[in-house]
Structure 1
């Protein structure tokens, strides 16, 4: 079985350079929105991983998926519909990260329902990550990396050519075990968005 790491908005990830940063004077709060069915311990682990590099985090109570996101033919949920829903409920100056254990999908090229593990619009105020397609023994660590990758897209980061960077393009596989950190260029960009790196 192949595992797929989500692109940000599939159409928008063609550029491979880090955009010119615009310094943010007001830090945004990342709201972690679990969907029902995910264990709170996994949500807490992801929150802790994000908090190490971005301290403004708030975990919300679990909710149901929006009804229009369910794709019955494949028993999965449409990531773009989830993001639109999360975006519509995001207060000003926040980013919402949806977390789920359910299968999610998005349109990719001629495939109208491509299974993914995350999606984040670039830039945007919402993204979603799923653990459904993560099968290795260190699933929780991989899940955290997927969440951080999608948050990177919401900040405006494209995919990165550095193979050990969290923003690496999965290219149809699951390279999360090779990813160690954000690369220097991606870190410098995120610092302008109030991300903290030692």
Structure 2
């Protein structure tokens, strides 16, 4: 009986280590898809580390062909997020791609978007495919990444029009959203984000 209790205790410790991590104590793993720009990735990681130092560049991977919606030539965001979680069961995961990604938006099937996340589930994917001006791609991409990771860490859209977490509503708003608002900073601060050096 005692050995069974010990075995059960070890099982719960193992399960907690796999599934019980609190968002804010994990490492953010960055996955490049299909030869995405290493330069953009490295610059984005450097920017992210200003806010959240536990960041790792993971091995490059391919977008799953089963996630591709051929009639519109886009990849479904939910399928990409599922693939990421299959690769790694814990931690916060974000994929970088230059391919179109899409999702079902209020009845609009396969609506193209810049990024998609599972709020408070530690999963995000972002794309450069919707940026029209190369000169601002890195700046806007960094803000897009922070926006989607804000969701991954538990933030919803923000009503402050100058906050990175404002709802883009299908448009690129990142030229007008330089930072997080004080309320969003307070929330992320509780998840071990740092804003004192920004």
TM-score, reference length from structure 1? 0.84
User: How many residues are matched?
Assistant: 174
- Paired residue for 1:97, among 94, 97, 117? 94
Find the counterpart in structure 1 of residue 151 from structure 2.
Answer: 153
**Counterpart secondary structure, 1:150:** helix
Change (3 A) 1:55 1:70: same
Q: Which runs of 4+ in 1 moved over 3 A?
A: none
Q: Which has the larger radius of gyration?
A: 2
Q: What is the CA distance between 1:25 and its match in structure 2?
A: 9.2
Q: Is the 8 A contact 1:38 1:100 kept in 2?
A: yes
Q: Which residue of 1 aligns with 2:111?
A: 114
Question: Residue 143 and residue 25 in structure 1: after superposition, are their counterparts in 2 closer, same or farther (change >3 A)?
Answer: closer
Uncovered stretches (5+) of structure 1, i.e. residues with no partner: 1-23
Higher relative contact order (CA 8 A, sep 6+): 1
Distance in 2, Cα, partners of 1:96 & 1:122: 12
Displacement of 1:26 in angstroms is 6.5
RMSD: 1.4
**Match 1:162 to one of 160, 163, 167:** 160
1:189 corresponds in structure 2 to: 187
Could you tell me how far apart the structure 2 residues matched to 1:182 and 1:43 are? 21
Unaligned runs of 5+ residues in structure 2 are: 1-21
